[in-house]
Amino acid sequence: MEVATMSDQLPAGVERRAFDGVERLATRGDPVYGEPTDGEWRAWDPTRSKLGAMFELGMETGLEGDDTVLYLGAASGTTVSHVADFAGPTYAVEFAPRPARDLLSAAQSRPRLFSLLADARKPETYAHVVEADVDAIVQDVATRGQARVALENRRFLADDGRLLLAVKARSEDVTSDPDDVFADVETELEAGYEILERRRLDEYHTDHLGVVARPK
């Protein structure tokens, strides 16, 4: 039986390429946050991207090139710009006006990236824009109630879709042990999702958990 390599988990359009002699994840697109470039390729920094960290750690995200993606917590576009480099229509939800302006700038050269100034806790406010049955929800929302956000947005996910969730323990409860916080979030998630894989992201992001799940 052939053993899968880490590269086998990468979607089409994401490659490992050398930048200054160091092999790094990369996508094709205009630079957004001062990342190294090599021609049309731009390095994907996993220390600034929870999804990038999940790729680096070999998690099986199920993402494929040309997938339709709903990205919750897009901020200034660091990660979602990489996603839009290889994915299909990518809906980027950000609540704060200042990073949303930077997100708009990242979207200018990416016709498949749609910026939405909205609150991920209130999916009804963008339900008229986001198409039904998206292939993946990528969530990186630093707020209390991260499981509830994922459950509220489950309505957009295809039956065979994936939730790629980065749980920030300190956003849920700064006083509790992160493992206890993660356990509580996972228990709540199970009301609407089956968890396929979980992994601490501490190598790149302290007190974060990466979760891959599918809708029940």
Q: What is the pLDDT of residues 67-90, one digit of tens each?
A: 999 999 999 999 999 999 999 999
141 is in an annotated binding site: yes
> What percent of the chain lies above the pLDDT cut of 70?
96
The residue whose two tokens read 């039904």 is 132
pTM for the whole structure: 0.94
At residue 59's C-alpha, the angle toward residues 72 and 69, to 5°, is: 30
Q: What is the pLDDT of residues 101-114, one digit of tens each?
A: 999 999 999 999 99
CA distance 66 to 160: 15
HSE, CB side, 13 Å, CA atoms: give it for residue 133. 2
For residue 9, is pLDDT > 90?
Answer: no
102 is in an annotated binding site: no
Torsion angle (degrees, nearest 10) of CA 100, 102, 105, 111? -50
Distance of CA 48 to the CA centre of its chain: 12
The residue whose two tokens read 């991260």 is 146
119 is in an annotated binding site: yes
For residue 192, is pLDDT > 80?
Answer: yes
Q: Give me the mean pLDDT over the 163-192 stretch.
A: 97
The residue whose two tokens read 């198409």 is 131
94 is in an annotated binding site: yes
27 is in an annotated binding site: no
Domain range list for the chain:
6-44, 52-215
Burial (CB < 10 A; 0-12, 13-18, 19+), residue 117, is middle
156 is in an annotated binding site: no
Sheet harboring 90-94: ordered strands across? 113-117, 90-94, 69-72, 134-139, 157-168, 208-215, 193-200
Confidence of residue 3 (pLDDT cuts 50, 70, 90): very low
Topology given in CATH for the domain delimited by 52-215? Rossmann fold (3.40.50)
Contacts of 98 (CB under 8 A, 6+ apart): none
Q: Give me the mean pLDDT over the 13-37 stretch.
A: 97
User: Would you state the structure tokens that stand for residue 169, as one six-digit string?
Assistant: 């323990």
Find the DSSP H helices in 71-214.
Answer: 78-86, 97-107, 146-152, 169-172, 178-189
